[in-house]
Structure 1
């Protein structure tokens, strides 16, 4: 995707607005269903995800199908100009299936079969479940594949979890045989089998990690997580076989997630692998706005990081498949969005590359676990309450942004995120059990660029490095020789590479490199880390950098310099006055090594120097104070500029040139005042 190209990922040239619609819960209330169609128009919505948990309504008994209600929903939505994202219902199977085919039920890590209930309580390996999902999906594709309302396929829902049944144990062993070329010795070598006498003499002895002693064999745990990702993807691929056959031109997606409390990428599956099999990446965004442990701006920075990761997976716009217009029901505290926050949070998603704002849910359920989860239509069944009106305001705004759809966010800066490395470092019985915080560390390096309005791609180790002027690789604990080679080529070709403490310590099998740090890394950086010191929570040190002192906590690396320039030194402890930060010319490029976890004030100064050297520019000429974010999406003929105030106070921004307000049409120049949570969207001709 080039800087000026538009890619219509859903074949729609408008912003999608709507969300999860569950008419199957209201089939005995035609008056409610009629209200829905009226309210959809009042809310300025146009797209609805249907059928996600509707298996029991579609097939109430085995082989007995009821599609008439869904026929009417398709027709009714299309009658108002709407579109349908049709879901396959595999995320929650009907009770008759659990009763008749017990193999579809998951077995937990303690080898106990789970009872029917909840959702995603199914075995991905089960031949019966795979057969049943394909049967259902083929019927859906044949019935609705040519319906003009069908926009895309929503495959299952929020894939996650694992199963430890005998079927999955056998599948794991077959996966290992393929990975290790049927060589059991290779498995023992990769997993360091002699440790605690964990050498296997027969494939049948290998089992998935159990709750007892599961930390013993790190290679086993790492490969199990890889297998779970691959098996989940294989289940997904099985689901879409009939969809690709019957509707080859209808795009497919499934909704990715984030871990909500810290707002970091979902850890259960390697999305870098999964994304390759999707036409469109989407995710379900549920930040805990207005929490009491961080500022709104700090939380917004984390949202921006995940947006940029999921956008970068396919280097194209993404979809916001779920967000709440008000509150959720599963945080520790379920606080409502304050007035203005819904528009602000929606426009942040669009500013970072989303071509949709879709909600969970359209209408609140009357019962069960999600009856108090936020929705567009509340239990009052009224379009006149605050939340509904704020949704309508978002809809009106999105209608003004059709030219934004499909546009790109080019970047000269990339941060490398790796699921494998995060799994491995979390298993590592070393360092600090509570202070590893790999994703959070990446977000802190991202923060400087987000605050300075410099776009960032959050990429994975298989993606192209060469197009970036700056590549930042914090805490990449697991680093294969292939990755090291690619980094070496990047730097020698002229790239700037920043690396930190606890990087490059183990290979892809979580085995340490003998002889210390890998020789190629030593050459690239002109130094080697010889010792990693881990601090207690109250321990502190300091690093002197550019004649100023910066606080250090958690980790410090003792460094031996072999040609690198010393940029900063430790001030305390037994390594006082020794190198803490280094730089090194290598080939046509340059490397930097940051030996300790330093306060954000250091990162801001450190990266500002590199920003200046590389002439990395913000994407607009707007200046502002802390807590305001300016993000740009570039259409072929104009830039769309999103100016967002993430603070609790009014903020003044200065426009470097005249722009036009997209919503009001007025010309804007000079100074502009943003109220609390206010968003202004401007366009600027190129």
Structure 2
């Protein structure tokens, strides 16, 4: 079991969602509490966007409605993740202080009317937000419903970068702290190029819209600064909460998915008492459940392997995609339990009751517009029953022998402009390699390159374009210690300042891999190449030379590089280092993954599982274990051995589209 902080007074797997009672009359609020009890709700987030209701005019407060809501929830035994109410400033604030509105790179001002219309770096905004946070803490810090503080909301969701004058001043302070002298900044940024040399920090600006490509290291540092500045804002509010209510854990809802790029969440994790994540599947993705699993594993990675909260997901369709698909029968249940299977100890939704007005009125909820005589409500109740039944899983962990290395600065760097190919993107290969492992029912830890890699048998390093000397040595150390390490193309190319590592690519990994690439060979749109085993690849190839002792596993069979290496392997210490110099299609990448797993001695969670069926295991410190079987196909599949705690099962099988959670015999491995 874990000793990590957890919402106060919440047992088992927490269940609930965002609750916005300010949108509804008293009679509806009374009904809400009754229905929450029917559904088995134990935790709700309250007050996220309520500043304008709590302080309708500056200095004039109305807490009565929130007092009543919290009292009713407490009486019903439902705990609250109470927000600081700072996620969106009230209209009176930005009307009085329009200088607090954020700006885009081209100077466009983002006006009120949506949400998050504030400059995170503005000192005056910080004063208002801290003051509101203190009022919430002092009023509700001892309320029996309070279980967790929810700071702001999805920080950086709509405004990850602000280019205003306040941001420019804060960016300069950040740069001075990072570099110390303007001479060091000039060296790091390579400002001898294009006459960009600075004589003082006061001359530096954010990378605003320019005639052509802005300085790439300036862009990279602005991304780092922006992530750090959002974290500074979180810390300012959190510190007030810790001062007033040191006994109450604090979090904010991150957005850990393959689509959220601009916050370096690994650098945030130490400041969160418990990691919370919002995740939404993309309707147009046929493999949405695979991306969900990757995002859940990434959440667990940011949480250091410990329990985390799924703070938001959807019961059915959302409102913000081009075409918002209704979830199919059983899909919401499988999605929810997949997060638990990958380490979540709480399942929450946006939102409890579907809104009747506003921009999110067509976003699904636990209680839909059509009420309780609906499939969505019945699934909501079924999920509550299932989570109660599997409550003993709480605190157990996922164990893995495979690490997938994920790094946000590398993501920022690899997708900068003026690169060899716009088709080389970060999340594309992360998801491709993860999918190959998921399809083979192998659990994966998603970790930063600085993580302890010594306990993994297989380490997969996709597109780690930017890497420090220390992190490159850490990856090499895993191979020397006995791991099989796979590094893919466009990795190790530059240092932390986006400066090319000279002497041939892949730079930082050249010695580890025993290869030297003299030139990239980017493929054109639609162009493919064939390898000597018939595998098909696209997007990328490169002119690779191997050092003595490096084995050429596959060569290019056609194109300008015919006969040159495409896949290589080098024995390193007790392990091996592989290099993949092109983008393989799914079948070929799957075959390579099979070979790597065999070499590394990694076994699946369960043998003989049909394609499209997800299996995952959580294990407690005392040896107990639980198996999750999520059937993403329409055909029933056999139940493995174990006591069924919850599921859609019949006649010893998991139904098509169904699920099962089993307690395994204590002697299972």
TM-score, scaled to structure 2: 0.95
Superimposed CA distance per residue, residues 89-144 of structure 1 (whole angstroms, 9 cap, x where no aligned partner):
11111111112223322122223433222111101122222111111111211222
- How many Å separate the matches in 2 of 1:533 and 1:91? 47
CA contact (8 A) 2:484 2:600 kept: no
CA contact (8 A) 1:7 1:407 kept: no
The alpha-carbon deviation at position 333 of structure 1 amounts to 0.7
Superimposed CA distance per residue, residues 403-457 of structure 1 (whole angstroms, 9 cap, x where no aligned partner):
1112110111101111111111111412221x11211211111112212221101
The aligned counterpart of 1:472 is 460
- Establish whether residue 556 from structure 1 lines up as the match of residue 541 from structure 2: yes
SS at match of 1:35: helix
The aligned counterpart of 1:337 is 327
- Establish whether residue 308 from structure 1 lines up as the match of residue 326 from structure 2: no
- How many Å separate the matches in 1 of 2:249 and 2:500? 42
- How many Å separate the matches in 2 of 1:167 and 1:580? 49
Superimposed CA distance per residue, residues 66-96 of structure 1 (whole angstroms, 9 cap, x where no aligned partner):
2121111111111111100001111111111
- How many Å separate the matches in 2 of 1:154 and 1:366? 24
CA contact (8 A) 2:47 2:84 kept: yes
Matches within 5 A, 1:271-310: 271-289=265-283, 291=284, 294-295=285-286, 298-310=287-299
- How many Å separate the matches in 2 of 1:459 and 1:55? 37
Matches within 5 A, 1:462-611: 462-517=450-505, 521-544=509-532, 548-563=533-548, 564-611=550-597
- How many Å separate the matches in 2 of 1:520 and 1:256? 31
CA contact (8 A) 1:265 1:306 kept: no
The aligned counterpart of 1:51 is 47
Distance 1:104 1:299, change over 3 A: same
Matches within 5 A, 1:366-515: 366-380=356-370, 382-433=371-422, 435-515=423-503
The aligned counterpart of 1:660 is 643
CA contact (8 A) 1:360 1:375 kept: yes
Distance 1:267 1:665, change over 3 A: closer
Q: 2:307 aligns with which of 307, 317, 336?
A: 317
SS at match of 1:276: helix
CA contact (8 A) 1:6 1:408 kept: no
- How many Å separate the matches in 2 of 1:430 and 1:128? 39
The alpha-carbon deviation at position 491 of structure 1 amounts to 2.3
The alpha-carbon deviation at position 520 of structure 1 amounts to 5.9
CA contact (8 A) 1:8 1:405 kept: no
The aligned counterpart of 2:132 is 136
The aligned counterpart of 1:352 is 342
Q: 2:631 aligns with which of 645, 665, 676?
A: 645
CA contact (8 A) 2:639 2:654 kept: no
SS at match of 2:530: strand
CA contact (8 A) 1:6 1:405 kept: no
SS at match of 1:549: coil
The alpha-carbon deviation at position 679 of structure 1 amounts to 0.7
Q: Please give the root-mean-square deviation of Cα atoms over the aligned residues, in Å.
A: 2.0
Matches within 5 A, 1:49-448: 49-160=45-156, 161=159, 162-181=161-180, 183-213=181-211, 215-257=213-255, 264-289=258-283, 291=284, 294-295=285-286, 298-314=287-303, 315-380=305-370, 382-433=371-422, 435-448=423-436
The alpha-carbon deviation at position 386 of structure 1 amounts to 1.7
CA contact (8 A) 2:22 2:50 kept: yes
The alpha-carbon deviation at position 496 of structure 1 amounts to 2.1
- How many Å separate the matches in 2 of 1:165 and 1:469? 47
Distance 1:329 1:530, change over 3 A: same
CA contact (8 A) 2:15 2:384 kept: yes
TM-score, scaled to structure 1: 0.92
The aligned counterpart of 1:624 is 609
- Establish whether residue 634 from structure 1 lines up as the match of residue 619 from structure 2: yes
Q: 1:10 aligns with which of 1, 7, 32?
A: 7
CA contact (8 A) 2:648 2:660 kept: no
Distance 1:451 1:517, change over 3 A: same
Superimposed CA distance per residue, residues 242-271 of structure 1 (whole angstroms, 9 cap, x where no aligned partner):
10111112111111125xxxx614112111
- How many Å separate the matches in 2 of 1:421 and 1:226? 11
TM superposition outliers: structure 1 runs of 4+ over 4 Å: 4-8
- Establish whether residue 615 from structure 1 lines up as the match of residue 601 from structure 2: yes
SS at match of 1:335: coil
- How many Å separate the matches in 2 of 1:623 and 1:420? 39
SS at match of 1:560: strand
Superimposed CA distance per residue, residues 661-680 of structure 1 (whole angstroms, 9 cap, x where no aligned partner):
113799x9xx9533331111
CA contact (8 A) 2:4 2:274 kept: no
SS at match of 2:409: helix
CA contact (8 A) 2:2 2:306 kept: no
- How many Å separate the matches in 2 of 1:35 and 1:471? 51
- How many Å separate the matches in 1 of 2:466 and 2:336? 36
Superimposed CA distance per residue, residues 8-53 of structure 1 (whole angstroms, 9 cap, x where no aligned partner):
6335332111111111122xx2111111111111222121100000
SS at match of 1:355: strand
Superimposed CA distance per residue, residues 453-487 of structure 1 (whole angstroms, 9 cap, x where no aligned partner):
21101111222111212111011111222222222
Bigger Cα displacement from structure 2, 392-401 vs 627-636: 627-636
CA contact (8 A) 2:647 2:661 kept: no
Superimposed CA distance per residue, residues 580-630 of structure 1 (whole angstroms, 9 cap, x where no aligned partner):
1111112232100111111122222222223223321223x4522110111
- How many Å separate the matches in 1 of 2:198 and 2:239? 37
CA contact (8 A) 2:492 2:508 kept: no
Q: 1:673 aligns with which of 653, 657, 665?
A: 653
